[in-house]
Structure 1
Amino acid sequence: MPTTFDVRALESVIRVELDDSVPEADRERMRAEWVDVIEQDAAQPDVTVVGALRELPHSTEMSVRVVSTGSAERLGSLLASEVTLAAIGELSGSALMLHAGAVALDDGRVIALVGPSGRGKTTATQALARELGYVTDETLAFSADGAVVPFRKPLSIGQHPDAKTQVPASEFGLRDLPAAPLELAAMVVLDRREGIDAPYVEHVPLLEALEEIVPQTSYLSSLPRPLRTLVTAILSTGGVRRVVYSEADTLPALIDDVLATTAFESPQLVDIGVSTKDCDCASKLSPFETVETPEADAATLYRRANYRDALTVDDSLVVLSGNRVSVLEGLGPVLWFAAEDATEAELTDAALREMPAPPEHIDPAEVVSATVGELIQAELLTRA
């Protein structure tokens, strides 16, 4: 008989069904890994994840996911990933989601520990959650007003993404969540370095923070106003902090520094607008396919490439394409705005109108041509 249990994952109930090809002892072990978030007498699940140690056909039902592998140890890790992916997929378009660990103070303030795989999020979360409430070790979801959705999944321990051991927070003795409502109070980028005797906290400038944070988001482009929503969240927490440290056990002593507010002048933000034409077309090409780009000539027209959202931050322009953010300064924003089926000569005219006069020894047309080439290379402009 298969082993079936339901778990609370973010705002979803995910049913895990372990096929009888998995030995009973392994099925019981995997169930025990999720003991902290098992839902008893749950209603109909939002998604069912089926795990097996034999090849199973993919389900035609959107709400059923199948995980097949030959190793019980690897199956546990893949199940954890699939449950997480199912949960974040259910929140697509309604919440900001960060690839982050998180802990909560007794008053409900939540600290997000952001970083890619291998940055030490789980180790840092484990060190902090012995004194603070354990919120999640991998995916932090919160609404536009900062309300946090906990995901107290088992901690994923190990170096290889597909072979991590899943350990429930209760087994590590991590603290429960506080009774107070959870609200995001700080975003922290982890920066673990060797030889840091005195760990420290520093603030990250907003544009630099966006370049760090955006790649660590899930379904950001599915939000109605993705850049404005993310920037507002960052500013509401006093900006992004970077914690530079060597050992995770030094992190609890930095909590006050992380939460300390620093006076800063809020940037001027102007929404450029959301594009409905954004397409991650490059990802659909095979490794052997290329996109033919016509050679430029005097009559070549340039236009903005497909993008999801754009926002000016003071004098800089931030463009979101798929899950990639680009920051343009100086001549870049001028050319991006002017590129409405414009020739290179028309772009040069726009640059001369909008930018300070260049030194006499500088040829504006050459500078514009070089910058246009860079914007095409960055997939921000395209030839019509």
Structure 2
Amino acid sequence: MSTAFDVRVLDSVVRVDFDASVPDDVRDRIRGHWVDLVEDGAEPTVTLTANLGNGRLSTDPQHRIVSATSPEQLAARVVSEATLVGIAGLSGSALMLHAGAVALDDGRVIALVGPSGRGKTTASIALGRRFGYVTDETLAVYPGGEVVPYRKPLSVGTDPDSKTQLPASAEGLRGLPDAPLVLDAIVVLDRREGVAEPYVETVPVLEALEALVPQTSFLSTMRKPMRTLVSTILSTGGVRRVVYSESETLGDLVDEILAAATDESPHLVDVGVSTSDCDCGAKLGEEPVVVEAAPGTLYRRGEYRDALSVDDALVVFRQNRVTVLDGLGPVLWFAAADTTASQITDAALREMPAPPPDVDPAAIVDATLDELVTADVLVRA
């Protein structure tokens, strides 16, 4: 008799099977972890075959081998591999955050963002006993705000490869409401020792980007990754940071979390990968200050996936990292298109306020160019 079972992982169906190395009691235990997500009658996207100790590998993307040396490690790896299948299935169509999440009765979802070890699962458990449990570490959001639930086994422990897996229903977490799930708040968890009174604060959008981008998966596969992320942030009233010590105090902060909202409404302009050199908004009616271009090292923009102007700042996204340029930075970035330092200085003098008489603009530009090269935003040719 087959011991395989199928589970719903985001918008994918994953079949979990076992080879003869896995005892019956371990198979039953792992199946029990997934009791909330068992899917009957759907064709699986990928089959995972779990084994203990033989280390077999598979090159078939539709049939993957999951190997471990202990039952606990095997259970954790099945969860990790199944989650990767689900995330890959939404690549390019949904924003995916490393976040726990809970849902209010009306379908509003609160995302709890943070890196591994920051307390997402503990927070999800504490809040999931009062609100609907959505997920404890992988949240998928479509551009319009619709949330794809993933009531995965709760992963408890500090070692990512051997966490204890607990089914949400067995831990007393609430089910999902009947209402459609829509993202309403993004919370960055900041757990600290000795916080007597937990509190909520709003996070400026540019600072929020630097906090959120590392906590995403497949962000670069989105058609407009930076606009998608910024628009999601703004549609939820901006990112909130919750500073706390004990997860049990989070439930009392929900009203404050929902009420906290930024009044930011920045002007967004997609720059994208096809931006050509521009005059960077040269001041109309002003005579440009011309600095004679001299032969020398050429500067150009480094490889990047996306760029977005946010008011006077420029957000450059590459290799799942974001760099925020302000002040002189955006002018130099736009001007760097196989151009010399003196040509870039010319652009800076046209676009920036006139420097004080005792300031050498070329020296300031050279120093800033060095910083941008060090940050891999610009390269020397």
Q: What TM-score do the two structures reach when normalised by structure 1?
A: 0.92
| Equivalence for 2:226 | 227
| Equivalence for 1:272 | 271
> Within 2, Cα distance between the matches of 1:207 and 1:50?
43
Contact 1:2 1:18 in 2 (8 A): no
The SS at the match of 2:355 is coil
The SS at the match of 1:373 is helix
| Equivalence for 1:346 | 343
| Equivalence for 1:59 | 58
- C-alpha deviation, 1:43, in angstroms: 2.3
| 1:87-102 correspondence runs (5 A) | 87-102=86-101
Contact 1:105 1:133 in 2 (8 A): yes
Deviations 1:265-290 (Å, cap 9, x if unpaired)?
411111112459xxxxxxxxxxxxxx
> Within 2, Cα distance between the matches of 1:320 and 1:263?
23
- In structure 2, what residue type is equivalent to 1:371? T
Deviations 1:123-173 (Å, cap 9, x if unpaired)?
000000000000000100010000000000000000111110000001110
| Equivalence for 1:285 | none
The SS at the match of 1:3 is coil
> Within 2, Cα distance between the matches of 1:198 and 1:127?
17
- C-alpha deviation, 1:355, in angstroms: 1.2
The SS at the match of 1:359 is coil
The SS at the match of 2:308 is strand
> Within 1, Cα distance between the matches of 2:252 and 2:101?
16
Contact 1:102 1:137 in 2 (8 A): yes
- C-alpha deviation, 1:331, in angstroms: 0.8
> Within 2, Cα distance between the matches of 1:263 and 1:222?
28
> Within 1, Cα distance between the matches of 2:118 and 2:218?
21
| Equivalence for 2:102 | 103
Q: Which of the numbers 367, 370, 377 marks the counterpart of 2:374?
A: 377
| Equivalence for 1:25 | 25
Q: What TM-score do the two structures reach when normalised by structure 2?
A: 0.93
- C-alpha deviation, 1:5, in angstroms: 0.7
Contact 1:101 1:138 in 2 (8 A): yes
Kindly indicate whether residue 16 of structure 2 is the aligned counterpart of residue 16 of structure 1: yes
| Equivalence for 2:285 | none
| 1:1-384 correspondence runs (5 A) | 3-40=3-40, 42-262=41-261, 264-274=263-273, 298-384=295-381
> Within 2, Cα distance between the matches of 1:265 and 1:233?
13
- C-alpha deviation, 1:17, in angstroms: 1.0
- C-alpha deviation, 1:299, in angstroms: 1.7
> Within 2, Cα distance between the matches of 1:66 and 1:351?
56
Deviations 1:199-236 (Å, cap 9, x if unpaired)?
11100000000000111011111011111111111100
Deviations 1:47-101 (Å, cap 9, x if unpaired)?
1112111334432322122111211111111111111111100110010000000
The SS at the match of 1:163 is coil
> Within 1, Cα distance between the matches of 2:261 and 2:99?
23
> Within 2, Cα distance between the matches of 1:102 and 1:275?
36
- In structure 2, what residue type is equivalent to 1:12? S
Unaligned runs of 5+ in 1: 277-296
- C-alpha deviation, 1:242, in angstroms: 0.3
Unaligned runs of 5+ in 2: 276-293
The SS at the match of 2:189 is strand
Contact 1:136 1:152 in 2 (8 A): yes
- In structure 2, what residue type is equivalent to 1:346? Q
- In structure 1, what residue type is equivalent to 2:194? G
The SS at the match of 1:333 is helix
- In structure 2, what residue type is equivalent to 1:52? N
Aligned residues: 363
Contact 2:238 2:262 in 1 (8 A): no
> Within 1, Cα distance between the matches of 2:26 and 2:358?
74
- C-alpha deviation, 1:2, in angstroms: 6.3
Deviations 1:8-34 (Å, cap 9, x if unpaired)?
110110111122201111111111111
> Within 1, Cα distance between the matches of 2:18 and 2:347?
63
- In structure 2, what residue type is equivalent to 1:354? E
Contact 1:188 1:241 in 2 (8 A): yes
Contact 2:240 2:260 in 1 (8 A): no
- C-alpha deviation, 1:261, in angstroms: 4.7
The two structures, once aligned, show a CA RMSD in angstroms of 1.4
- Which range moves more in the overlay, 372-381 or 105-114? 372-381
Structure 1 residues 159 and 275: alpha-carbon distance in aligned structure 2, compared to 1, 3 A threshold: farther
Contact 2:202 2:262 in 1 (8 A): no
